Chain A
Amino acid sequence: MSSRISRRTLLRGAAAVAGAGAAGALAGCSSDDNSGGTGTKAQTTITYWDWYASQAGWVDNEIKLFQQAHPGIAVKKTTQVSDKYADLVSLAYRSNNPPDILMVPKSPQLSQQVTQDWLLPVDKWATKDWQSRFPQSSFVEGVDMFDGKIYTAPFAAPAPSLQLYVHHKVFKDAGLTESDGSVKLPKSWDDVTHAAEAIASKSGGKVAPFGFGNSTNTTLAWWLDLFVRGAGSPGGAAVGGIDGMDYRVGQWTFGTDRNYADVINLLLEWKNKNWFYPNSMSISDEQARAFFERGRFGMTVGGVWNQPEWTEHKFTDYSLVTLPAPDGNPKALFYGPPGGKFVAVSSKSKHADEAWAWFDWLYSKDAGKRWVEQGQGLSVYADNNDPKGVTFAPFAQYVAMSGTAVVGPQPTVRNPLLTKLELPAVKPDINDVLSGIWTGQLKDVQGTLSSLTDKMNQALSDAVKKVGTGASQKDFAFPDWDLTKPYTTKPGA
């Protein structure tokens, strides 16, 4: 009996303590959130997702500045793993718990994200006046607009997505210098071959001329992309989706454009001379970058995303060139669509106004300027892309290359019906095929490329048929396209 009483007493005591604690906690919460009593405004927290790992410094700084300018809004950032980002966003929507604002995932297609009601149209805030800060033709049906509503906006200008990085010390040790002592940068395919030959012979085989990290099965295609563009193949090899086709003919041309087989054979020739770092197929791009930094090889292909990590490690002894061409003069460039996508507000957001404020901040000219100044990339605002404003030499070289990327044709502008096009993935794709050729599992280079081309064009043909009447494969062909100039796609033309 006594024990029962004491237990009850104990429970009562515990309840009293818990009640007092809860009351105190609630009081504490309300004092934080309640603007009336203290005069401070209640803070709203918005959730933001991206896959920007090496760009995190810029994002974090923007969040800090944004929160200073908007004391009532806190941004809770979550950076997801880039190659799982699309899956995680999809899962978040399936569990009805997406972030308030997010970087637009690469998959599914943006049109599908809109039809699935993932994203909120921002027309309420994105007035004509707001739109006017962007360059002309920034809002394009089928790219960042659907059914006349704006969902996202371009953040970066079309950019030279790939460059050949050259290690200064390796080049100097191989005697590859100009008369003034600066590094002799290769411009033609022959220049690259001669540089490789010099590195291999001068280092006695201790330093490889080339290296890459293909464990994610993507980087080998970067080499092909960079070299075929220089030779005049506008589709390249590293661009997914329909933008990877040759818009001059509206088809993929891996098997019909001899540049592809020529570059692959050139790469195989270099490989057979043992000019590539031996573990290139199994190391990751990150590991390859670390080996390049240590001078284990003299040249690698990568993007501007290489630079922040090297800068962090105080490694700046390199230069970059882009589009090495057979005769040194690039016959094709890098192309981007008019318009573009970066972030979007979730349709499920309960703080859409606050999410828009962050959206607007990210798209501001000042944020874009800081993006360029911090060496992250090019801004959609041309004024921001001035190499003179960039103090870091390798990034200034990149900014100076901005002319090698222009706006290309856009079939969805010509025929908005094509926004409904759902192109199925063709497997094995160009990455797989290159890997097969490189490792000797696929012997017939031309036959393999022709087979891949046929499958991709067949997939396009099937997908166009599914769109229905009003869409045709001719919508993808732009025979009047001059590869060295920006192209303006006219609706219906």
Chain B
Amino acid sequence: MVTTVSVREDVATAEPPRSAGRRRARRRTYLWSYVYLAPMMVLLLAFVVYPIVASLGYTFYKWDGIGDPTDFVGLDNFRQIVHDSIFWRSLGHTFVYAAFVVPTQLVLALALALVLNNKRLRFASFYRTLFFLPVVTSAAVIGVVIQLLVSNFGDSINDLLLKLHVIDQRVDWLGDPHFALAIIILVGIWHTFGYNLVYFLAGLQTIPDELYEAARLDGAGPLATFRYITIPMLRAVGVVIVILAVIGTFQIFDLVQVLTSGGPYFSTEVVNTYIYHLAFGGSNANAVQPDIGLASAASFIYGVLLIVFSVVQVLVLRSLAKRRATGGKA
């Protein structure tokens, strides 16, 4: 910090330098920024970039992770993945999960953020903590508790629902393909919606009170204020929240692995558990040979699909923003 100030003083007191000198000074100015960034970059290269590049090499081998890969199979792993109906089914489940979790979470989080943002609300901090608690709770712990609730003590839930005539026979909530994914979606919404709540709260707190006062003076009701002030002012942060929420849901793994391990019969398998089961053997205690090559190919294909999806998402959001900026004439 001190160094930065002194450099600035140097720059400020020096005669206007020539362009090479200015570049040198600027480089010196930003040198510390690069130094601060370096550790993160090293970690990023070691634990993100390198594995991606290395796993690309493995996609061309039949390899169980033991010894060095020697059985070169060319593009056969990609062919197998593309022709594997379970991969596409897993991808479908991942999209279904995202399609339910993202909109539900965003609507709930925004509604709750509006309530918690009310300055007259007492114990607002307590409620914020309460709603954020699931986020800091490990998915493994949540999975175990939910499993206990719906499987071990599922009789009580079933008995209650039978008495209320909601169901006409006992249901194995996590063992029935009609319900298992729905349970995971519900738990997923509850588990991570605290993030979006905090993001929306932060966004709401950046909106100047004067705008609301002016709207009230102009006779706008709560709905009109929400539509014409809150929504437009939240738009920028909203786009970021949507992108983060979508990316987050596509990374779903832990909840599925703990609750159902992708079963029964792949009815809750998502792409990340599919890749995990390929890489580390079966989802059960059987000795199934792991296939790192196949798992790497699946990861690569999923990565490409996600990049394409993200680009399309950004283009669509940009186009919508452009259309709004031009009043829908573009």
With contact pairs A218-B285, A429-B286 given, residues A116 and B67 touching in the complex (Cβ less than 8 Å): yes
Instruction: Give per-residue flags for A431-451: 1 if the beta carbon is below 8 A from chain B beta carbons, else 0.
Output: 111011011111000000000
Asked if residues B175 and A279 are in contact (CB atoms below 8 Å), the reply is yes
Which residues of the partner chain A approach B267 to less than 8 Å between Cβ atoms? 439, 441
Which residues of the partner chain A approach B266 to less than 8 Å between Cβ atoms? 428, 432, 436
Asked if residues B264 and A281 are in contact (CB atoms below 8 Å), the reply is yes
Asked if residues A83 and B176 are in contact (CB atoms below 8 Å), the reply is no
Asked if residues B172 and A240 are in contact (CB atoms below 8 Å), the reply is no
In the bound complex, how far is the Cα of B281 from the Cα of A90, in angstroms? 13
Q: Is B64 close to A, CB under 8 A? A: yes
With contact pairs A108-B66, A432-B265, A439-B177 given, residues A278 and B158 touching in the complex (Cβ less than 8 Å): yes
Indicate the size class of the contact surface on chain B: 35 or more
With contact pairs A108-B64, A116-B66, A278-B170 given, residues A87 and B281 touching in the complex (Cβ less than 8 Å): yes
In the bound complex, how far is the Cα of B226 from the Cα of A12, in angstroms? 70
Instruction: Give per-residue flags for A277-313: 1 if the beta carbon is below 8 A from chain B beta carbons, else 0.
Output: 0111111000100000000000000000000000000
Which of A87, A112, A281, A429 has most B Cβ within 10 Å? A281
Which residues of the partner chain A approach B174 to less than 8 Å between Cβ atoms? 279, 281-282
In the bound complex, how far is the Cα of B289 from the Cα of A287, in angstroms? 27
With contact pairs A112-B66, A116-B67, A278-B171 given, residues A216 and B285 touching in the complex (Cβ less than 8 Å): yes
Which residues of the partner chain A approach B180 to less than 8 Å between Cβ atoms? 282
The smallest C-beta distance from B188 to any residue of chain A, in angstroms, reads 17
In the bound complex, how far is the Cα of B172 from the Cα of A280, in angstroms? 8
Asked if residues B260 and A441 are in contact (CB atoms below 8 Å), the reply is no
Q: Which positions 264-287 of chain A face chain B at CB distance < 8 Å?
A: 274, 278-283, 287
Q: Is A241 close to B, CB under 8 A? A: yes
Asked if residues A217 and B283 are in contact (CB atoms below 8 Å), the reply is yes
Asked if residues A428 and B86 are in contact (CB atoms below 8 Å), the reply is yes
Chain B residue with the shortest CB-CB distance to A432: B265
Indicate the size class of the contact surface on chain A: 35 or more
Which residues of the partner chain A approach B66 to less than 8 Å between Cβ atoms? 90, 93, 108, 112, 116
Which residues of the partner chain B approach A240 to less than 8 Å between Cβ atoms? 286-288
Asked if residues A279 and B282 are in contact (CB atoms below 8 Å), the reply is no
Which residues of the partner chain A approach B291 to less than 8 Å between Cβ atoms? 424-425
Asked if residues B152 and A436 are in contact (CB atoms below 8 Å), the reply is no
Which residues of the partner chain B approach A433 to less than 8 Å between Cβ atoms? 265
Q: Which positions 59-95 of chain B face chain A at CB distance < 8 Å?
A: 64-67, 86
Chain A residue with the shortest CB-CB distance to B179: A282
Instruction: Give per-residue flags for B161-174: 1 if the beta carbon is below 8 A from chain A beta carbons, else 0.
Output: 00000000111111
Which residues of the partner chain B approach A108 to less than 8 Å between Cβ atoms? 64, 66, 289
Q: Is A55 close to B, CB under 8 A? A: no
Instruction: Give per-residue flags for B265-306: 1 if the beta carbon is below 8 A from chain A beta carbons, else 0.
Output: 111000000000000111111111111000000000000000
Which residues of the partner chain B approach A280 to less than 8 Å between Cβ atoms? 172, 175
In the bound complex, how far is the Cα of B169 from the Cα of A352, in angstroms? 61
Chain A residue with the shortest CB-CB distance to B278: A427
Which residues of the partner chain A approach B171 to less than 8 Å between Cβ atoms? 278
Q: Is A44 close to B, CB under 8 A? A: no
The smallest C-beta distance from A42 to any residue of chain B, in angstroms, reads 35
With contact pairs A287-B152, A439-B265 given, residues A282 and B175 touching in the complex (Cβ less than 8 Å): yes
Which residues of the partner chain A approach B203 to less than 8 Å between Cβ atoms? none
Asked if residues B284 and A216 are in contact (CB atoms below 8 Å), the reply is yes
The smallest C-beta distance from A271 to any residue of chain B, in angstroms, reads 11
Chain B residue with the shortest CB-CB distance to A112: B66
Asked if residues A107 and B169 are in contact (CB atoms below 8 Å), the reply is no
The smallest C-beta distance from A82 to any residue of chain B, in angstroms, reads 6
The smallest C-beta distance from B45 to any residue of chain A, in angstroms, reads 22
With contact pairs A217-B284, A429-B286 given, residues A283 and B152 touching in the complex (Cβ less than 8 Å): yes
Which residues of the partner chain A approach B284 to less than 8 Å between Cβ atoms? 83, 216-218, 431
Q: Is A214 close to B, CB under 8 A? A: yes
Which residues of the partner chain A approach B151 to less than 8 Å between Cβ atoms? 215, 279, 282-283, 287
Asked if residues B288 and A428 are in contact (CB atoms below 8 Å), the reply is no
Partner of A436, one of B172, B265, B280, B283: B265
The smallest C-beta distance from B243 to any residue of chain A, in angstroms, reads 34
Q: Which positions 154-205 of chain B face chain A at CB distance < 8 Å?
A: 154-155, 158, 169-177, 180
Q: Is A86 close to B, CB under 8 A? A: yes
Q: Is B249 close to A, CB under 8 A? A: no
In the bound complex, how far is the Cα of B158 from the Cα of A233, in angstroms? 39
Q: Is B261 close to A, CB under 8 A? A: yes
Q: Is A106 close to B, CB under 8 A? A: yes
The smallest C-beta distance from B166 to any residue of chain A, in angstroms, reads 15
Which of A279, A433, A435 has most B Cβ within 10 Å? A279
Q: Is B147 close to A, CB under 8 A? A: yes
In the bound complex, how far is the Cα of B175 from the Cα of A438, in angstroms? 10
Q: Is B263 close to A, CB under 8 A? A: yes
Instruction: Give per-residue flags for A129-173: 1 if the beta carbon is below 8 A from chain B beta carbons, else 0.
Output: 000000000000000000000000000000000000000000000
The smallest C-beta distance from A436 to any residue of chain B, in angstroms, reads 4
With contact pairs A86-B281, A287-B152 given, residues A107 and B289 touching in the complex (Cβ less than 8 Å): yes
In the bound complex, how far is the Cα of B65 from the Cα of A492, in angstroms? 34
Which residues of the partner chain B approach A217 to less than 8 Å between Cβ atoms? 261, 263-264, 282-284
Which residues of the partner chain B approach A282 to less than 8 Å between Cβ atoms? 147, 150-151, 154, 172-175, 180, 260, 264
With contact pairs A116-B66, A116-B67, A282-B172 given, residues A107 and B281 touching in the complex (Cβ less than 8 Å): yes
In the bound complex, how far is the Cα of B150 from the Cα of A429, in angstroms? 27
Which residues of the partner chain B approach A274 to less than 8 Å between Cβ atoms? 169-170
Instruction: Give per-residue flags for A187-216: 1 if the beta carbon is below 8 A from chain B beta carbons, else 0.
Output: 000000000000000000000000000111
Which residues of the partner chain B approach A215 to less than 8 Å between Cβ atoms? 151, 175, 260-261, 263
In the bound complex, how far is the Cα of B36 from the Cα of A290, in angstroms? 55
The smallest C-beta distance from B130 to any residue of chain A, in angstroms, reads 29
Which residues of the partner chain B approach A241 to less than 8 Å between Cβ atoms? 287
Q: Which positions 57-106 of chain A face chain B at CB distance < 8 Å?
A: 82-83, 86-87, 90, 93, 106
In the bound complex, how far is the Cα of B152 from the Cα of A428, in angstroms? 28
Asked if residues A218 and B286 are in contact (CB atoms below 8 Å), the reply is yes
With contact pairs A278-B154, A283-B151 given, residues A428 and B265 touching in the complex (Cβ less than 8 Å): yes
Known: A107-B289, A425-B281, A439-B176. 5 other contacts (CB 8 A): A107-B281, A217-B282, A281-B176, A427-B86, A431-B282
Partner-B contacts on A (CB < 8 A): 82-83, 86-87, 90, 93, 106-108, 112, 116, 214-218, 240-241, 274, 278-283, 287, 422, 424-425, 427-429, 431-433, 435-436, 438-442
6 residue pairs, one from A and one from B, having the closest CB atoms? A281-B175, A436-B265, A282-B175, A106-B287, A282-B174, A278-B170
Partner-A contacts on B (CB < 8 A): 64-67, 86, 147, 150-152, 154-155, 158, 169-177, 180, 260-261, 263-267, 280-291
17 A–B contacts from the bound complex (CB under 8 Å): A87-B280, A106-B287, A214-B175, A217-B261, A240-B286, A274-B169, A279-B172, A281-B176, A281-B263, A282-B173, A282-B264, A425-B281, A428-B266, A429-B286, A432-B266, A439-B177, A441-B265
